[in-house]
Structure 1
């Protein structure tokens, strides 16, 4: 599987958020830039580090007219726990059947502690107000993801 092509319209999707409400990418078209970031599992150390850092730069993201959507294969029921425990200030979306991750090319073979398995590959997509994919970020550290993201947003917007 490969990532969608930068410059093309980002694959559209509708997923349930932590409040069991349907959130659609197309709802933001013409209104907001969107950061869609795929993370493997709520309440794990790397995903918590990444999410809390995004929480902490909310004002900088607001200043750039950006909304954040976190997507994982977690069930909807797990998402409120992650939001409440870490006071996250953006929507988390459930992609249990990983159909959206497949569309975005970030479901694939992973290696961990000598074992290979299929899973979600941590990837961030920046979508412009026009719905076009502006950037794919797939090489970053969870600790500096927010800084790398702000740098990319400044370059692109």
Structure 2
């Protein structure tokens, strides 16, 4: 048999042919990578913050809607309380000589209602005004009317002490000094101001005399504590002498 020719070193072996069947096969799909979970320390993205903000805003709006009516009611209640505690503006016209007792209701030392216009229906009335109960000058004035009280009642005049003190303070003073006449509380100085004795939140020491029927016939302001009962009694005695 004839020998095959030897392949020389200079000759390059032919490259093997690739199968077209293998090349035409589709490439395997790469696995889909899932996003890694965020750690607790990782910062939130802008979208996350926006979503959280929307939730917080809704919660805040709900709280506001819930609390606003209560806050409004509380403010209204506080306003009502302030209105009750605020000083009342005088509602009476000034009372001068010849004017009658006003239609107003005040409290006595027992916290009972006293209708001022009815006090002079049967007898004359004397109001003596004191700046503050149970103080030195006011006690002198009050005890002077106490000591001469039978003289006033004997001339058909009733005596009343008028001040801006609360009824409880007046009752304590009345009991302590054995005052025989009623004490009238005018805490907001409505009647006191109408009589011309209430200025700058204070009561001026004075006295006013109303005849039977309620007409003002005498006023003394200012007046000294010891002189007030003496002058009031002298005026009434003078009237009695004229009518006798």
TM-score for both structures, normalised by structure 2: 0.57
Shift of 1:85: 0.5
Instruction: From 4, 9, 25, give the equivalent of 2:116.
Output: 25
Residue 127 of structure 2: SS of its match in structure 1? strand
Structure 2 Cα separation of the partners of residues 50 and 72 of structure 1: 13
If you compute each CA radius of gyration, which structure gives the higher value, 1 or 2? 2
Residue 29 of structure 1: SS of its match in structure 2? coil
Shift of 1:149: 0.8
The higher relative CO (CA closer than 8 Å, separation ≥ 6) is in 1
**Counterpart position of 1:121:** 204
Check the 8 A contact 2:207/2:228 in 1, yes or no.
Answer: no
Q: RMSD value over aligned CA atoms?
A: 1.8
**Counterpart position of 1:84:** 175
Alignment of 1:126-141 (within 5 A): 126-141=209-224
Shift of 1:28: 2.6
Structure 2 Cα separation of the partners of residues 44 and 6 of structure 1: 30
Higher helix share: 2
**Counterpart position of 1:100:** 191
**Counterpart position of 1:153:** 236
Higher strand share: 1
Structure 2 gaps of 5+ residues are: 1-89
Runs of 4+ in 1 over 6 A off after TM superposition: none
Structure 2 Cα separation of the partners of residues 143 and 9 of structure 1: 27
Residue 37 of structure 1: SS of its match in structure 2? strand
Residue 62 of structure 1: SS of its match in structure 2? helix
Q: Deviations over 1:45-67 (max 9, x none)?
A: 00000001101111101111111
TM-score for both structures, normalised by structure 1: 0.87
